[in-house]
Amino acid sequence: MYPILHFQEHHKARVTSPYGMRPDPFGSGKMVMHYGVDMGGVPRGHLWTSPYAGTVTHVGTHGGRGKVAVVRIEGTRVLQLFQHLDEFRCRLGDEVEQGWPIGTNGSTGDVTGPHLHYELRLDNGTKLGAPCWGDPAEFTLERARKEETMREYIVKNGDTLGTIASGFGISSWQQLVDWNKDRYPDIGTGPNALVRKGWVLRLFDPATEAVGISRAELDALTARVKSLESLWAKIKAL
């Protein structure tokens, strides 16, 4: 089940602001990225429940996000963020089942009215995780579990080289550039460089894939070849 269907069917809530670019709700006149889905149409104090079973990894207050409960979805590295809650109905370490209470509909943080901001992020060891997984309206458990072992990544809105590298435990954004510049010659440089939605980025080094050895082994072999070439050049010069 898509998580949005859970809120629509079990809470009779409606989507009041979808994932994606939108006009700034606070009146700046700019377009801003909305990294989650806002669910409204229910009274303040309504009890929100979890679309999925999992573990409560964090509860706390975070500036504009207000009161946030974080639940890691069982069997995945995806975090559910429930934002702008008035009161928590779960505690750190709780093992929750689908449909168990998380918190009450509220207006903590930066809001224009009481609602739930539901967001999906990847667990990178921080309280709120990073980067954003993508549109909750497209999320399924099957897709998330497949992505756990995937070797390529389809770029979503708002992704940067830095957030992708961080989300998949890649030590440097430069590795993503090196591994994919043959596919996308115009790929940006720098951790904050945007990459185009729909690009399919390798999450592995194709050079090591081709020969079946690790990067360290390949580097050592390359150095050895260069050393032998240098020695052979000296011998030929005698």
The one-digit pLDDT tens for each residue of the chain (238 residues) are: 699 999 999 999 999 999 999 999 988 899 999 999 999 999 999 999 999 999 999 999 999 999 999 999 998 989 999 999 999 999 999 999 999 999 999 999 999 999 999 999 988 889 999 888 889 999 999 888 877 666 788 888 888 998 888 777 788 899 999 999 999 999 988 888 878 988 989 888 887 654 454 455 555 666 777 788 888 888 888 7
pTM for this model (two decimals): 0.68
Residues 6+ away with beta carbon under 8 Å from 69? 56, 58, 59, 81, 82, 85, 88, 90, 102, 103
How far apart are alpha carbons 206 and 12 in whole angstroms? 48
pLDDT at 166: 77
How far apart are alpha carbons 144 and 73 in whole angstroms? 10
DSSP state of 160: B
SS3 category, 32: strand
pLDDT at 211: 47
Helices (H) and strands (E) in the chain, counts: 6, 13
State both tokens at 13: 């809530």
Contact 180, 201 (CB under 8 A): yes
Q: Tokens 């979503």 map to which residue?
A: 156
Helices (H), the chain: 3-11, 141-148, 161-167, 173-180, 206-211, 215-237
Q: How many CB atoms lie within 10 A of CB 75?
A: 13
